[in-house]
Amino acid sequence: MAEKIRTLETEKKNLLLEVDGLKKQAESKATALESEVSMLREEVESFKTLLGLKDLTDLDPPAPKPEKVEKGKSKFNILK
C-alpha cells in the first residue's frame, strides 16, 4: 500500500511539473502572438498613411447594384 502511495505521489509531482511547463509554453506563445498583433497593427497604420486612407473600409469594393426585375417576372427560372 505504501509503495502505491509513493508511486502516485511521484506521478502527481511529474504531472504538476508537466502542467507548469505547459503553462510556461502557453504564456510564451501568448506573448509572441500579442507582439505579432501589435506589429500587424503598426503595419496597417503605415499602409493607411501611405495610401492616404482614413480607414480600411475605403478599400472595400462598391456594393453591387440590385438588378431590375420586370413586374410579374422572377429573376429565378424555377419553373420552366
For residue 69, give every residue at least 6 positions away whose Cβ sits within 8 Å of its Cβ, in sequence order, or none.
75
pLDDT of residue 78: 54
Q: Quote the CA–CA distance of 35 and 28 in Å, as a whole number.
A: 11
Please identify every stretch of the chain with a pLDDT value under 50, giving residue numbers as ranges. Answer: 80
pLDDT of residue 53: 80
Write down the pTM of the prediction: 0.55
Supply the DSSP symbol for 14.
Answer: H
Q: Let me know if 69 is exposed, middle or buried by CB neighbors in 10 A (0-12, 13-18, 19+).
A: exposed
HSE (side-chain half, CA atoms, 13 Å) at 59? 9
pLDDT of residue 75: 57
